[in-house]
Amino acid sequence: MKEYVIIGGGAAGVSCVEGIRSRDPEGKITLVSAEPVSNYGRPLISYYLEGKTGLDRMSWRGADFYERMRVDALHGVRAERLDPEARRVTLSGGAELPYDALCVCAGSDPFSPRFEGIETVEKRFSFTTLADALALEQAVDGDTRVLIVGAGFIGLKCAEGLRDRAKSVTVCDLAPRAMSASLDGDSSPILERHLEKCGIRLMLGNTVTRFDGGTALMQSGDTVGFDVLVIAIGVRPNTSLVSDAGGAVGRGITVNEKMETSLPRVWAAGDCTESRELTTGETGVLAILPNASMQGRCAGTNMAGGDAVFDKGIRMNSIGFFGLHIMSAGSCTDPVFTQVTETGCKKLFARDGVLTGFILMGDVSRAGIYTSLIRERTPLDTIDFDAVCREPSLLPFGRAYRAKKLGGAV
Ligand SMILES: Cc1cc2nc3c(=O)[nH]c(=O)nc-3n(C[C@H](O)[C@H](O)[C@H](O)COP(=O)(O)OP(=O)(O)OC[C@H]3O[C@@H](n4cnc5c(N)ncnc54)[C@H](O)[C@@H]3O)c2cc1C
């Protein structure tokens, strides 16, 4: 019987289990997770703080997933060292696990530059795990002033989660725009106005230069008083298991389209990896849930002897703040359609005759059509692109395309 080991129980790890089981119902699967709980929807942690979901409803595949899949899940245990020659992984506590095929699905950890005086801040947090959300739940009440450093999606999700629990929530960022990695100069201001209307104070193009207890001295010279600090500046892929074992890593673990690392019988998937982005052809970390899930499934299938390929990775963000829905995808550098209002926008981007990206804000319905055009690199001169810009539906597409998409019902 083949022995599989999966390191990490997030979206990639869970999908890896499913990939293995799709081909091998018998093999022995051991999943090692550093978190005391795993198999929960990480994006749900802000909804938990908002009171929109409970601990019993956060499971990614149901509480009995590991039992159903016959997985031996070890929680609160870290994989410390990988020995690809001996095909063994050493766990915290010293135990060793042998494997025939191993997948590293170790995600990423938050990082923070060294702020002067940070050690004087008594209550400081990150916001990437359920444990972070539970700790913030304890630390914040109606008298608490929260300062969040970082106006990317993690910082803003944290702000949304805490708004009704706290006295005030301020978010600052060195970048001049909210969600500057996914939005552009037309769309960010819509989000910023919406957040401010919903009671979030934004300080953009302005960050902390020094902390002194509960006071942040800002670049602008202003000071911000706070009781709880959340650092949400960014995350860094967990690559060390593979690099320490001599495997190739860049910003993430290097994998090919089959999710194989450079080490024999070692695969990797999810936020800890870097792979090729379809619209730019560039290699990078595609740290979003759908990619983690597809990569995990692909790795698991191949670990069990399959021949799956992951070659459709695109940067994508599907998120909402206080009822404002936002979807962005691909590379957004060459606009071909722009529609901006006070409360929403639609921008489409194309290069070399194919759609490369989009930003939708407000009405995000039928975004799947744009995503599909990007992934399939459909030549825009083969469809009625003007109609697709105004009102995405399958009608402007040719009969052959509709037949493919709708399984013949055209
Ligand atoms: C607040 C928040 C909101 C988000 N919202 C969205 C969203 O709306 N849409 C979207 O697409 N994405 C969103 N994301 C990103 C998404 O959650 C990640 O892309 C996804 O969880 C990545 O899955 P993963 O399995 O690669 O890694 P993770 O989910 O990070 O899982 C990795 C696991 O491996 C464990 N681990 C690490 N090292 C070891 C080790 N040595 N031994 C054992 N275990 C180890 C970690 O503890 C962790 O449990 C959000 C993320 C956060 C934090």
Q: Per CATH, the architecture of 327-406 is what?
A: 2-Layer Sandwich (3.30)
pTM of the model: 0.92
Which residue's structure tokens are 């938990």?
Answer: 48
Residue with the bigger pLDDT between 59 and 196: it is: 196
| Mutate-to-test residue for ligand 1 from 233, 288, 314, highest number of ligand atoms within 8 A of CB | 288
Among 37, 33, 39, which residue's Cα sits nearest to residue 7?
Answer: 33
| Mutate-to-test residue for ligand 1 from 104, 130, 148, 289, highest number of ligand atoms within 8 A of CB | 289
Do the first three CATH levels of 3-107+238-303 and 111-234 match, i.e. the same topology?
yes
Asked if the model's pLDDT at residue 397 lies above 80, the reply is no
Buried-state track 75-113, b at ≥16 Cβ within 10 A, e below 16: eebbbeebebeebebebeeeeebebebbbbbbbbebeee
Report residues whose beta carbon is within 6 angstroms of any ligand 1 atom: 7-13, 32-35, 38, 42-43, 45-46, 78-79, 105-108, 127-128, 154, 157, 238, 241, 270-271, 287-290, 292, 318-319
Instruction: Provide the pLDDT for residue 410.
Output: 33
Exposure of 48 in the CB half-sphere (CA atoms within 13 A): 24
Asked if the model's pLDDT at residue 405 lies above 70, the reply is no
Nearest atom in ligand 1 to the alpha carbon of residue 80 is 41
Nearest atom in ligand 1 to the alpha carbon of residue 92 is 42
Going by alpha carbons, the residue nearest to atom 32 of ligand 1 is: 107
**Length reported for the chain:** 410
Cα–Cα dist 293/192, whole Å: 30
Q: How far, in Å, from the CA of 352 to the mean position of ligand 1?
A: 34
Residue with the bigger pLDDT between 367 and 266: it is: 266
Instruction: Provide the pLDDT for residue 89.
Output: 98
Q: How far, in Å, from the CA of 10 to the mean position of ligand 1?
A: 5
Mean pLDDT comparison of 4-8, 331-335, 351-355, highest-scoring range: 4-8
First-residue to last-residue Cα distance in the chain = 47
pLDDT band at 369 (very low <50, low <70, confident <90, very high): confident
For the chain, what percent of residues have pLDDT higher than 70? 95
Cα–Cα dist 374/350, whole Å: 9
> Mind listing the pLDDT tens digit for each residue in 54-84?
999 999 898 899 999 999 999 999 999 999 9
Three-class DSSP labels, 235-254:
EEECCHHHHHCCCCECCCEE
* Residue-averaged pLDDT of the chain: 93
Q: Per CATH, the architecture of 111-234 is what?
A: 3-Layer(bba) Sandwich (3.50)
Going by alpha carbons, the residue nearest to atom 27 of ligand 1 is: 107
Going by alpha carbons, the residue nearest to atom 41 of ligand 1 is: 79
Nearest atom in ligand 1 to the alpha carbon of residue 271 is 26
Going by alpha carbons, the residue nearest to atom 20 of ligand 1 is: 289
Would you list the domain boundaries of the chain? 3-107+238-303, 111-234, 327-406
Nearest atom in ligand 1 to the alpha carbon of residue 42 is 17
Q: How far, in Å, from the CA of 342 to the mean position of ligand 1?
A: 34
Instruction: Provide the pLDDT for residue 189.
Output: 96
Q: What is the separation of C-alpha 154 from the centre of its chain, rounded to a whole number of angstroms?
A: 9
Residues 265 and 99 sit within 8 Å (Cβ to Cβ): yes
Going by alpha carbons, the residue nearest to atom 5 of ligand 1 is: 43
Asked if the model's pLDDT at residue 402 lies above 90, the reply is no
Q: How far, in Å, from the CA of 40 to the mean position of ligand 1?
A: 9
Cα–Cα dist 354/376, whole Å: 9
pLDDT band at 395 (very low <50, low <70, confident <90, very high): low
- CATH 3.50.50.60 is held by the domain 3-107+238-303: yes
Q: How far, in Å, from the CA of 230 to the mean position of ligand 1?
A: 18
Mean pLDDT of 116-122: 96
- Dihedral (Cα; 121, 127, 133, 135), 10-degree rounding: -20
Asked if the model's pLDDT at residue 245 lies above 60, the reply is yes
For the chain, what percent of residues have pLDDT higher than 90? 77
Q: How far, in Å, from the CA of 185 to the mean position of ligand 1?
A: 29
Mean pLDDT of 232-252: 97
Mean pLDDT of 166-178: 97
Q: How far, in Å, from the CA of 33 to the mean position of ligand 1?
A: 12
Q: Residue 334: how many CB atoms within 10 A of its CB?
A: 12
